[in-house]
Structure formats: C-alpha cells, structure tokens
Amino acid sequence: MTQVIVVTSGKGGVGKTTTSASFATGLALRGFKTIVIDFDVGLRNLDLIMGCERRVVYDLINVIQGEANLHQAMIKDKHCENLFVLPASQTRDKDALTEEGVEKILKDLEHMGFDYVVCDSPAGIERGAVMALTFADEALVVTNPEVSSIRDSDRILGILQSKSRRAKEGRESVKEHLIITRYSAKRVEEGEMLSYKDVQELLRIPLLGVIPESESVLQASNAGSPVIHSKGSEAAEAYADVVGRFLGEEHPMRFVSYEKPGLLKRIFGGA
C-alpha cells in the first residue's frame, strides 16, 4: 500500500525542499518506487534542487485540471531508477489545487505501484500547505533550532491533528517525525543555539534526525543534485541515517556533539 509522507514546517527557509529531495532520493536508493510532488504552486523550487527544471513540460495543476495525464507530467530522475518528480506550476494560483484532484492523483499513483509519495509542502498554513498534508499517513516536521521556527512547527502539528483526512475521519493519527536542520553542535556548546534535546522537549514528537549546518547543502542545491548524493559530506550521511531510521533501522544520532580542539590544534589554527 502506498504511503503518503508530507514534509512540512510553519516557517519558510528551514530546509523542507532540501529534505524532501534527499529523503525521496534516499528511499529510491533503497529500492522503493518513490515520487516527490511539489505543492508550492506559484514558486516551484523542487525541480531546481532535483536538477530537472529544463525537463518540465506539464505540472501538478495541468494534471488536476485535465490538461495532461500523470504519465506526461511525471519526470523520471536521471540518477535513481525508482525516483520520479511531479513539479508545481509557476503560473497558476494556489486555488487551482483541489482536494478531489489531489486525491485522484494519489489513487492513480497507488495503481502505478508507488511505495512512497513524498509531498513537499510550502511554508505556512495556506491552501498549498493544507492540501499537502490532507492525505498524509506520516509527516516529517522540519525545524531549525530557533524559537520562531519551533513555534511555527508547533502550529503545524496542531493543523496535522485537526485538518488531515485521518483526523476528520477519526482514524489513527498522522505519524509525526521531527527533523532538525542547520544544526551547529559548536554553537550549542557555546550557548548560542538550542540543543536538539531542547527542541524535542518543546515539540514532543519523536526525533528522526539532526542535519548539521553544511556548505555542501548549498553547493548541492546550486548543482541541481539532492545533497544525499554528496559523498563524504556530513549532511549526506545525516540524511542517509534519517532514511534508515524511518525504515526501522537503528542508527546512532551523529553530528550532535562538539569536541573542543586540544591545545596544539588551537595553537596551530584549529577551530
């Protein structure tokens, strides 16, 4: 049965699209047939990070409005056999998203044998965001370790618990997972940033992973490649751990502690 996973947050710029791209890629690399859908109608960034922006002919809204079929709009990833992208429209209004249209797409994807549908939600609580979470079975709540981001994520948790189809039908709740991005263990040690334990204590949902602050994230985005492909980078390893934990594997939480450099390292230019 197809699992629908929404990647969401209350605040913009926390790394949702980066997470959607790497998480979907990670699932596909594990052999699962996966599609990632961009719900950010009017902006559309997922295709840039996935490196397929020049191949967009039809989009999510074209499919919903019957101007193209799903096969025409889906873009097959160049690197992963099992991965597909369904881009958002840059020219339509968010009101073009309809619950009936999204539900039909999800049913069609299930008939096509997809294991996972990853929904890249826009920030906030407007129509695109609510539509992305309506049919979710599980949610990856992405937040930075800062108070405003955490507060907005808490708001999203409330919406998940009240506006999802599962909530409306009185079924088992959407399963929530926390992903903390742009984490600096050094800044936490110096008292400049909330620790991952602080964030988890405030939001009280299970922690799926901590993604360290890394230049490789920006470099990968600019190159049009999900950062999980960036061999040797801490962010890539952290996203691989996230996928493993999601699939039920045990992985230690890495990149969350800071080791102060020794005297010699400090003398000779250590951080």
Rounded Cα–Cα distance for residues 24 and 5 (Å): 10
Amino acid 44: pLDDT: 86
**Range with the poorest average pLDDT among 95-99, 164-168, 233-237, 267-271:** 267-271
Give yes or no for residue 263 having a pLDDT over 60: no
Please tell me whether the overall predicted TM-score, pTM, comes out greater than 0.95 for this model: no
- Categorize the per-residue pLDDT at 20 as very low, low, confident or very high, splitting at 50, 70 and 90: very high
Per-residue pLDDT tens over the stretch 196-231: 999 999 999 999 999 999 999 999 999 999 999 999
Give yes or no for residue 264 having a pLDDT over 80: no
Per-residue pLDDT tens over the stretch 147-194: 999 999 999 999 999 999 999 999 999 999 999 999 999 999 999 999
The arithmetic mean of pLDDT across residues 37-62, rounded, is 94
Amino acid 266: pLDDT: 56
